[in-house]
Structure 1
Amino acid sequence: MKQNLLGAIYLSLAASMWGGMYVISKYVLDFVPPLTLVWLRYIIAFVVLFAILKWLERKNENRAPIQKRDWFLLVWIGFIGYFASIALQFIGTKLSDAHTGSLITSATPAFIVFFARFLLKEKLTLRKICSVTLATIGVMTVIGWNINVGTYFWGSIILVGAAVTWALLSVYVKIASERFSSLTITTYAVLFALIFTTPFMLWELQSKDITYESSYVILGVLYLGIVSTAAAFFLWNKGLELMDAGIGSLFFFFQPLVGSFLGWLLLHEKLTFHFFIGGALILAGVLIVTLPTKSVENE
């Protein structure tokens, strides 16, 4: 119970940080090109994570070395999740719109439950199915039900790819956590994502410039690198280490909820009645699957 509670806290914090990321990104992207911003996020996150990792390793002399086969797993996590998924989300959103992107990527928890069933052999219980369904309806209620899949066909297909690859990341992080700490996984996965992103960042800078008109741009980049990347990625991985991936996936739904709330608080965006109804459904879905039951058979 204590482990599940800690996992829930870590995952809630990570999703909340990503929700806040969109408010900051909306401002910073007016001055920094998107792929360059991703690269800056990763280089800052890697420096922070690597410094902490090495400091902790000096205190722990009995740590297990990383084997050759383990490096392939870390490369795969960095590629599939922190590079491919983020890139597909950028491309898919560009070929569609932000609303369509938000709605399609909200299917990520369902994909996590699916992959966890076959790759991790996690049980597909009635509670999980009901929770994911209820929370998904909640997200659709918050975001709105209008979606232009027909108008943005290729963009929608690519966004499905973004949801699938992030789901695979979450499952493979769970696999890697059996051998490594969440800090080790996050640090080296971010490093490999940084390597994969570098050529595209250099290509982007051939036609686009970075402008610094105020210190808020620098502060925004630092926030995205330290909080939304280093801290959030670590907390998400740590939370998945402590919980079943299928259960942990539900906390992904806090992202649009927090993003909408901060958009209202900081950007003066309107909150409709649908926000509160959808938020209640998301919270209900999370509570159904995380609260303890008297008997396993009840699941």
Structure 2
Amino acid sequence: MNQKGLKLAYFFAVLNAVIIGFSFLFTKMALENAHPLDTLTYRFAASFAVMSIPVAFGWVKLNYRGKPLYKALMLAIMYPLGFFTLQAFGLLHATSAEGGILYAFTPVVTMVLASVFLKEATTLLQKLSIFTSVFGVVFIFIMKGSSIDFSNLTGIFLLFLTCVVFAGYSVLARSLSKYYSPAEISYLMLGIGFATFLVVSLASHTTAGTLDRFFTPLASGTFIMSVLYLGVVASLVTTLAANYILSKIEASKMSVFTNLSTVVSMAAGALFLGEEITVYHLIGSVLIIAGVIGTNRLGRKKAVERMVRAERADHAEVR
């Protein structure tokens, strides 16, 4: 058991939550200058271009030969393609608050899928911890006066599907970690995301006769800064980190960290946008953090024993 690798995975999980929490700020700034689809295109262009540099110089080795490529393609279809497409269309029919509430249920969906497809077992206390974290997010939104309007069934259904595809990504990436390095999975995901969003965005502008608007945002320094953060930090770094995390810890444990981003985004809003922090924000944050800690600490001994048995089984297969 590599304890150093495990500690690094937890560090990356917290770092991911911080990065995603701040990404809401930069997304708001980027969308002031560009269409959502153009923003996604530039975002993945930045991430793919930066990762292509070490690949081109041979600093990062990639080898897809003899590996289950169709599963990696399925992974890219789930995330980023499926996730961002469903999110964009879902938010056309529903509010961002409804999106936030529904996205909070991702750890629950991940726990269910991980138990079915990966046979990941969670204790009763871990299940309660996951629900505590989810309740913390929902509690904050409800106290802010947000709720789910079931007349927006199309938007709600699409936003719920974002939970399913992200959970599916977490489960599939966990299983693919046996065959691919984090860099190999990430490069494929980012490349497919960039190519797809570029084609769709250009086709959309060409059809509408607005191709010149595709390049207009590049005149804004704020847009460029936002896209660099979203592309290089919030896409490239988090994708590499997430794929590394899923090679070390269970999908159900990693997914609960996504709710930490709610705490970070509130803190970022208070620091940089002057948004108010109330008592219910603090109560919700405590519930979220307690849920994350509980999910990853309770039943840890059993999880370590399972990982040791799995590693021994892998070594036995190699022999």
2:45 aligned residue: 43
For the Cα contact (< 8 Å) 1:6–1:242, is it kept in 2? no
Normalised by the length of structure 1, the TM-score is 0.91
1:152-200 deviation digits (Å, cap 9, x = unpaired): 2110010011110011011111111111111111111111122222332
Q: Secondary structure of the residue that 1:32 maps to in structure 2?
A: coil
1:91 lines up with 2:89 in the alignment: yes
Give 1 or 2 for the bigger CA radius of gyration.
2
1:188 lines up with 2:188 in the alignment: yes
1:1-299 matches, within 5 Å, as 1-55=3-57, 65-67=63-65, 70-144=68-142, 146-206=146-206, 207=208, 209=213, 210-212=216-218, 214-291=220-297, 296=302
Unpaired stretches in structure 2, ≥5 consecutive residues: 304-319
Q: Secondary structure of the residue that 2:246 maps to in structure 1?
A: helix
Tell me, in whole angstroms, the C-alpha distance in 2 between the residues paired with 1:68 and 1:32: 41
1:248-285 deviation digits (Å, cap 9, x = unpaired): 11101111111111111111111121111111111111
- Given residue 215 of structure 1, which amino acid in structure 2 is its aligned partner? G
**Change beyond 3 A, Cα 1:45–1:293:** same
Q: Secondary structure of the residue that 2:33 maps to in structure 1?
A: coil
Give the superposition deviation at 1:148: 2.6
Tell me, in whole angstroms, the C-alpha distance in 2 between the residues paired with 1:56 and 1:18: 29
Q: Which moves more between the two structures, 105-114 or 188-197?
A: 188-197
Give the superposition deviation at 1:128: 2.4
For the Cα contact (< 8 Å) 1:35–1:204, is it kept in 2? no
**Change beyond 3 A, Cα 1:24–1:229:** same
**Change beyond 3 A, Cα 1:212–1:45:** closer
Count matched residues.
294
Tell me, in whole angstroms, the C-alpha distance in 1 between the residues paired with 2:295 and 2:231: 32
1:83-116 deviation digits (Å, cap 9, x = unpaired): 0111111111121111001111111111111111
Tell me, in whole angstroms, the C-alpha distance in 2 between the residues paired with 1:198 and 1:215: 21
Give the superposition deviation at 1:231: 0.7
- Given residue 219 of structure 1, which amino acid in structure 2 is its aligned partner? M
Tell me, in whole angstroms, the C-alpha distance in 2 between the residues paired with 1:294 and 1:178: 22
Tell me, in whole angstroms, the C-alpha distance in 1 between the residues paired with 2:41 and 2:218: 17
State the percentage of identical aligned residues: 22
1:52-99 deviation digits (Å, cap 9, x = unpaired): 3454556x6xx7x42365221221111111001111111111211110
**Change beyond 3 A, Cα 1:148–1:107:** same
Query: Any runs of at least 4 consecutive aligned residues in structure 1 with deviations exceeding 3 A, and if so which?
Result: 1-4, 53-58, 210-214, 292-297
Tell me, in whole angstroms, the C-alpha distance in 2 between the residues paired with 1:264 and 1:245: 31
- Given residue 12 of structure 2, which amino acid in structure 1 is its aligned partner? Y
Give the superposition deviation at 1:125: 1.9
Tell me, in whole angstroms, the C-alpha distance in 1 between the residues paired with 2:282 and 2:121: 31
Tell me, in whole angstroms, the C-alpha distance in 2 between the residues paired with 1:109 and 1:181: 24
- Given residue 229 of structure 1, which amino acid in structure 2 is its aligned partner? S
Tell me, in whole angstroms, the C-alpha distance in 2 between the residues paired with 1:56 and 1:45: 18
- Given residue 148 of structure 1, which amino acid in structure 2 is its aligned partner? I
Tell me, in whole angstroms, the C-alpha distance in 1 between the residues paired with 2:218 and 2:285: 37
Computed over aligned residues only, the root mean square deviation of the Cα atoms, in angstroms, reads 2.2
Q: Secondary structure of the residue that 1:242 maps to in structure 2?
A: coil
**Change beyond 3 A, Cα 1:294–1:185:** closer
Tell me, in whole angstroms, the C-alpha distance in 1 between the residues paired with 2:80 and 2:88: 12
1:193-242 deviation digits (Å, cap 9, x = unpaired): 22222332124434462335542221111111111111111112211211
Normalised by the length of structure 2, the TM-score is 0.85
- Given residue 27 of structure 1, which amino acid in structure 2 is its aligned partner? M
Give the superposition deviation at 1:136: 0.5
